[in-house]
Each structure stands twice: as structure tokens, then as C-alpha cells.
Amino acid sequence: MRIERILSKLDTGLGATTLSPSVKSLTLTLSQRTRAPGARHFWRENLRRIQYANPNLPIEVVYPREPCMPKLEIKFSNSAVDSFSISGMRSDEICRKLLEKAT
């Protein structure tokens, strides 16, 4: 019963989408000392759904001690990199922007 509930949360909701095959990897950079509630919520909720929907996609979370601006980096198979700041954004805004660029 509990596993079914967990799996249903991973299968539905924002982020439960298969990304384009041209996406090679995702990197989320989030400082331990920076306040970024939207980025932290995206990490806990949406990024798990994205990882579940794309099991072969490498997803890295960089968590440096020194303060830095939170950002999300998308690497594509043609060596292009799309990086954008997620500072001040809500988790749903971050997820929508990622899906816009990576689907």
C-alpha cells in the first residue's frame, strides 16, 4: 500500500515526463548556505519525478559549502550546454522552464 502511494506520486505530477533523447545530463547546483526554497523543493519533489521518468539520464546535484547562486545546467548530446539561474524561482517555474528547454 505504501509503495503504491510512493510510485503513484512519482508517476504523476509536474516533472513526470520523458525528456528529449538529445539531453545528455542535468546538473543542479545549490549552495548549503543560500536560501533558495524553490530550488530545494524542486530538488526534493520534481527532480525525483524527472529521474524516475528518465532512469538512464545522469543527474548530478552539486552542493558546495560556499555561497553561490542556484542554477540548473542541461547538457545536450551535441555538446551544447544550457545553464540558467533558478534563484528566486518557485519549484513549478523551474520545472516548467526545464521541460520547455529539454522536451
**25, 34, 85, 26: which is closest to 64 by C-alpha?**
34
Which pLDDT does position 95 carry in this prediction? 93
Q: pLDDT per residue over 53-67, tens digit each?
A: 999 999 999 988 888
More confident residue, 52 or 4: 52
Q: Which residues on neighbouring strands pair with residue 28, listed in sequence order?
A: 61, 72
Which pLDDT does position 14 carry in this prediction? 79
Q: pLDDT per residue over 22-43, tens digit each?
A: 999 999 999 877 788 899 899 9
- The contacts found for 75-79 with CB under 8 angstroms, 24 or more apart, are 75/23, 75/24, 75/25, 75/26, 75/27, 76/22, 76/23, 76/24, 77/21, 77/22, 77/23, 77/24, 78/22
pTM equals 0.86
Cell triple for residue 30? Answer: 545549490
